[in-house]
Structure 1
Amino acid sequence: MRVLLTGSSGWLGRFLAPRLMQAGHGVVGLDVVPGAATDIVGSVAERSVVDRAFADHRIEAVVHAAALHKPDIGRFPPQAFVDVNVTGTLNLLQAAATAGHDRFVFTSTTSLMISQVIRDGEGSAAVWLDETTGPLEPRNIYGVTKLAAEGLCRLFSREHGLNCAVLRTSRFFPEEDDTIRGIRGENLKATELLYRRLTVEDAARAHVMALENASGFETFVISAPTPFAHGDVVALKSDATAVIARYFPDAPALFARRGWQLPGSIGRIYDPGKAERLLGFRAITDFAAVLRALREAAPLPFAHDPDYVSPSTRLANG
């Protein structure tokens, strides 16, 4: 297929473009800044840019990964999130429907599943999150606009027969977290693979599999497989370290050897089981892969770059 990949200069795009090409697809990249995989410099928020991309490049399918993200909240006004995340998605869906496409992949986020109650850590048990979780009450403009864009995808699937896969990806960004205190850096990323993270390489694989297997309208949580079970949710909230040691007996010693900590409490777990059942996708890198790397003194199996700057930020900074 000849695929329009939006966000082609971004963190996901730089991994997703070659993965699509390896799978035999032609890729036309669109982003607000130039990049190795970007053919069109422009914004999805401008309908003329989208229409020109479709007209000039014979687009057959869309993988829509472009967005303003949570770290952009302090850099852009709310209207910019609506323009890019909602209007941009609408522009692409309308163009795809007009072109008679039969598939559309949308990069969404698990962030929209986190209400303020969950964010504040209320309750005595960790919250188990999957595609049935609701009602959804996003806590910021990022989540609100992503949820609205998901609704547009559902609408166009129903009204135009567009096979649309919505991928609610968990964390795969390389930079530092901007909200969590305590465990940080590589230590934080390593522990998050237990419950709320995946690698960018696995995120790219998930998008290719969704493109090739999309059917009807489906929403998928995309995250590394958790080792935990539903029965662990109370213990994870009160003493996550003990639960982790039960599943991985050498984890405390391996972490201590590196000067790392295991989390004392875990408040949420993302369950990616539906993606495995319907798409055949299971993340390759998980917490066990981190422990193997620590045992063998090998490179860590995920990216960490505290100096990473997103394309939107580069553009805003001139």
Structure 2
Amino acid sequence: MRILLTGSSGWLGRHLAPQLRAAGHQVTGLDVAPGAYTDVVGTVADRSLIDRLFAEHRFDAVIHAAALHKPDIARYPVQAFIDVNVTGTLNLLDAAVAAGASRFVFTSTTSLMISEAIRRAEGEAAVWIDETIAPLEPRNIYGVTKLAAEHLCRLYHQLHGLPCLILRTGRFFPEDDDTHAKPSGENLKANELLNRRLTVEDAVEAHLMALDRAPAIGFDTFILSAPTPFARDEAAELKRDPAGVIARRFPDAADLYAARGWVLPESIDRIYDAARAERVLGWRARTDFAAVLAALRAGAPLPVAHDPAYTSPIIAAAT
């Protein structure tokens, strides 16, 4: 297929592009920052550029991974989020319909499902988050604009029959978290595989599967996260004493962590449930918390990417 990949210089894009090409697809990478897999430097908010690219390449499919993200809130005004995340998505949908494209895969975020109440960890139990959670009340402009873009995808499927799959990804970026100081680094990433993280490799595989299955599915929304080892009826205990729950599943986890100077989570306030992606899309993350413990037992490299020096290409392009 002829594929337009937006966000091709980003962390996901730089891993996804070579896999698409290895599968035999003709990929045109579009990003605001140069990169090894970026063929065109420009923004999705530029409608004339999008129309020109579709006229030149006659894309069969779009994978739309470009966006302003939550850390960009400190650097960009609200209007920039509207321009890129909403108008940019609309530009791509319009062009895809006009070109008769056969599928559209939209990289969204679990962040838009987190209200201010969930962020503050209110309540006595962990919140079990799946695709049915409602109402959705995003807590910042990032979440608001990503949710608006999702609605545009739904609308264009309804109005034009464009197959659109929305992938709400958990955390997979390599840099340190900008809100958690302790634990941090690899310890935090390992903990998050219990409830809210996946590897970039697993995210890539989900996008490849979505690209393949979009015409058959038509429209759907999927949470992407490592499979949680927990059950819904453990939600209250996870909030109060996650170490006890973890010990039942992984008896040696505490000792393995202690040997590395790590700590288990003191409280788990949310669980991202990716069961629908497994049931409908046929995707299940290959890397989970058990894989981390296996690496610790074997003294092997950890299966999660951690790079505290990682800088988003959009920041590099602006400096």
TM-score by length of 2: 0.98
C-alpha contact 1:167 1:219 (8 A) present in aligned 2: yes
The aligned residue for residue 224 of structure 2 is: 222
C-alpha contact 1:110 1:168 (8 A) present in aligned 2: yes
C-alpha contact 1:40 1:53 (8 A) present in aligned 2: no
Q: Which stretch has the larger CA shift, 177-186 or 30-39?
A: 177-186
The aligned residue for residue 40 of structure 1 is: 40
Residue 71 of structure 1 deviates from its aligned partner by: 0.7
SS at match of 1:62: strand
Q: 1:184-232: CA deviations, max 9, x gaps?
A: 1100000100000000110011001001001221000011000000011
Would you say 1:315 and 2:312 are equivalent positions?
no
Q: 1:44-102: CA deviations, max 9, x gaps?
A: 00001111111112211000000000011101111101100000000000000001112
Describe how 1:230-309 pairs up with structure 2 within 5 A: 230-309=232-311
Q: Which stretch has the larger CA shift, 88-97 or 213-222?
A: 213-222
In the alignment, the residues of structure 2 paired with residue 227 and residue 36 of structure 1 have an alpha-carbon distance, to the nearest angstrom, of 37
Q: 1:243-276: CA deviations, max 9, x gaps?
A: 1111100100000000000001100000001111
Q: Which runs of 5+ in 2 are unaligned?
A: none
Letter in 2 for 1:187: N
Letter in 1 for 2:248: R
Would you say 1:78 and 2:81 are equivalent positions?
no
In the alignment, the residues of structure 2 paired with residue 270 and residue 24 of structure 1 have an alpha-carbon distance, to the nearest angstrom, of 33
The aligned residue for residue 164 of structure 1 is: 164
Residue 34 of structure 1 deviates from its aligned partner by: 1.1
C-alpha contact 1:44 1:50 (8 A) present in aligned 2: yes
Residue 24 of structure 1 deviates from its aligned partner by: 2.4
Describe how 1:86-165 pairs up with structure 2 within 5 A: 86-165=86-165
SS at match of 2:135: coil
Task: Give me the identity figure in percent.
Answer: 69
SS at match of 1:219: strand
Letter in 2 for 1:163: P
The aligned residue for residue 174 of structure 2 is: 174
C-alpha contact 2:58 2:99 (8 A) present in aligned 1: no
The aligned residue for residue 27 of structure 1 is: 27
C-alpha contact 1:222 1:272 (8 A) present in aligned 2: yes
Would you say 1:3 and 2:3 are equivalent positions?
yes
Letter in 2 for 1:269: I
Describe how 1:12-23 pairs up with structure 2 within 5 A: 12-23=12-23
The aligned residue for residue 209 of structure 1 is: 209
In the alignment, the residues of structure 2 paired with residue 290 and residue 172 of structure 1 have an alpha-carbon distance, to the nearest angstrom, of 15
C-alpha contact 1:12 1:204 (8 A) present in aligned 2: yes
* Moved >4 Å (runs of 4+): none
SS at match of 2:271: strand
In the alignment, the residues of structure 1 paired with residue 20 and residue 270 of structure 2 have an alpha-carbon distance, to the nearest angstrom, of 32
Residue 22 of structure 1 deviates from its aligned partner by: 2.3
In the alignment, the residues of structure 1 paired with residue 121 and residue 34 of structure 2 have an alpha-carbon distance, to the nearest angstrom, of 40
TM-score by length of 1: 0.98
C-alpha contact 1:78 1:141 (8 A) present in aligned 2: yes
In the alignment, the residues of structure 1 paired with residue 133 and residue 24 of structure 2 have an alpha-carbon distance, to the nearest angstrom, of 35
The aligned residue for residue 194 of structure 1 is: 194
C-alpha contact 1:3 1:61 (8 A) present in aligned 2: yes
CA RMSD in angstroms comes to 0.7
The aligned residue for residue 183 of structure 1 is: 183
Q: 1:4-52: CA deviations, max 9, x gaps?
A: 0000000000001012122222211000111111111100000011111
The aligned residue for residue 56 of structure 1 is: 56
Q: Which runs of 5+ in 1 are unaligned?
A: none
C-alpha contact 2:127 2:269 (8 A) present in aligned 1: yes
Question: What is the total number of aligned residue pairs between the two structures?
Answer: 317
In the alignment, the residues of structure 1 paired with residue 317 and residue 21 of structure 2 have an alpha-carbon distance, to the nearest angstrom, of 27
